[in-house]
Copies of this chain bind each other. A is one copy, B any other.
Amino acid sequence: MKVLITGGGGFLGQQLARSLLAHGKLSGQGISTISLLDAAYPANAVADARLRALTGDISDPEVLADACPPDTGVAFHLAAVVSGAAEADFDLGMRVNLEGTRLLLEQLRRCAKPPRLVFASSVAAFGGTLPDVLDDSTTPTPQTSYGTQKVIGEYLVSDYARKGFIDGRSLRLPTIVVRAGKPNAAASSFASGIIREPLNGVVSQCPVSPETGVWLLSPGKVTEAFLHASQLPPEAWGTNRVVNLPGLTATVREMVAALSYIGGTKAASLVKFKPDPRIQRIVETWPVRFRTPRALSMGFKADDDFESVVSAYIFDEQIRLA
């Protein structure tokens, strides 16, 4: 079976590729090729004979035609201009996040057999005046262009699925913590930075207040969620092709306490608070607490606690750098 990962050069795309290669199959079918599509790849990108790393723009139909041959079986759509960048450059976000998604759907529709698609949506779908605890019935009211583009992507995926063009599934991802590598332009970048940088002995400037809450999931758990979502039968979704993934709520203060507990007080002392009203404003529009009965009943899983999120990061880094 042929697999496509858009955003395959990104942190999650690379981790997903690594996991797919290790499993070697999806829904019992052997994976012959994984095509990665991204604008760029890291220096230490995953290498494997089954991998095809394509460099190009997802809003270019020719690039998509190359990335997605007619016998593609499963596609993971992770490519996106992140929240902060899509807010700063509206046209870029519209081109990549909306037009790129629409063009990918059109390309998938041309496949010989309707391929399965897992779309990485986001908790940024929610914003504005929200209940204290969100649930499966909360209506998306995004207050960023990134969130708007993700919600529109969900509706497109659902309609293409309803029409039978694809077998689509959208996952609303919590903030992914702890991301390896460098800070990025996502407004949520700090949530990984305040753990990752101090563990490397580097100061991390936190742009939001200690009381700021974050709804989060670890890279390991979200990778499991992608694999699980792609292997659930269509009946498990029915007509509702969108799900809020389970997660964990932690305030920045609780995250720093866990860092202190696992990494030591010296590491924790490297977190410096330097308020950035632009970031605070974006992050405050995101929801902090959810009930996710639908996802849990479908078999999706959250991390147990924030300490295990930090420990998993340290463990993953040791393997990555070994």
Tell me whether A254 is interfacial, beta carbon within 8 Å. Answer: no
Which of B128, B129, B142 contacts A159, CB < 8 Å?
Answer: B142
Across-interface contacts of A139 in B (CB, < 8 A): 137-140
Q: Cβ of A143: which chain B residues have Cβ within 8 Å of it?
A: 162, 239
The digit string for A136-176, where 1 denotes a CB below 8 A from any CB of B, is 01111111010010011001101100110000000000000
Q: Is the CB of B163 within 8 A of A128?
A: no
* Separation of A240 and B141 alpha carbons in the complex (Å): 8
Cβ-closest chain B residue relative to A94: B102
- Asked whether A163 lies within 8 Å of B240 as measured between CB atoms, the reply is no
Identify 28 residue pairs between A and B in the complex whose beta-carbon atoms are under 8 Å apart, listed by A's number. A90-B163, A98-B102, A128-B239, A128-B240, A129-B239, A137-B137, A137-B139, A138-B139, A139-B139, A139-B140, A141-B158, A141-B239, A141-B240, A142-B155, A142-B159, A143-B162, A143-B239, A145-B159, A145-B163, A148-B155, A148-B156, A148-B158, A148-B159, A151-B155, A152-B152, A152-B155, A152-B156, A155-B155
Oligomer: number of copies: 2
How many chain A residues have a CB neighbour from B under 8 Å? 24
- A156 and B148 CA atoms in complex are apart in Å by 7
With both chains docked as a complex, state the minimum distance between the C-beta of A26 and any C-beta of chain B, in angstroms.
28
Interface residues of A in 62-109 (CB under 8 A from B): 90, 98, 102
Most buried by B among A143, A155, A163: A155
Report how far A142 CA is from B143 CA in the complex, Å.
22
Which residue of chain B lies nearest to A91 when distances are taken between CB atoms in the complex?
B106
- Please name the residue on chain B nearest to A148 by beta carbon: B159
In the complex, chain B residues whose CB is within 8 Å of the CB of A128: 239-240
Residues of B within 8 A of A141 (CB): 158, 239-240
Fill in one digit per residue for A228-267: 1 if any B CB lies within 8 Å of its CB, else 0: 0000000000011000000000000000000000000000
Contacts of A148 in B (CB 8 A): 155-156, 158-159
Residue of B nearest to A285 (CB): B239
Q: How far is the CA of A142 from the CA of B98 in the complex (A)?
A: 19
Q: Which residues from chain B contact A156 at a C-beta distance below 8 Å?
A: 148, 152
Which residues of B have CB within 8 Å of A240? 128, 141
Give Cα distance in the complex from A151 to B138, angstroms. Answer: 16
Name A158's closest neighbour in chain B (CB-CB): B148
Q: Knowing that A138-B139, A151-B155 are A-B contacts, what are 9 other residue pairs whose CB atoms are under 8 Å apart, sorted by A's residue number?
A: A128-B240, A129-B239, A137-B137, A141-B239, A142-B159, A145-B163, A148-B156, A152-B155, A152-B156
Within 8 A of B (CB), among A118-144: 128-129, 137-143
Chain B: which residue is nearest A159 at the CB level?
B148
Q: Which chain B residue has the least Cβ–Cβ distance from A141?
A: B240
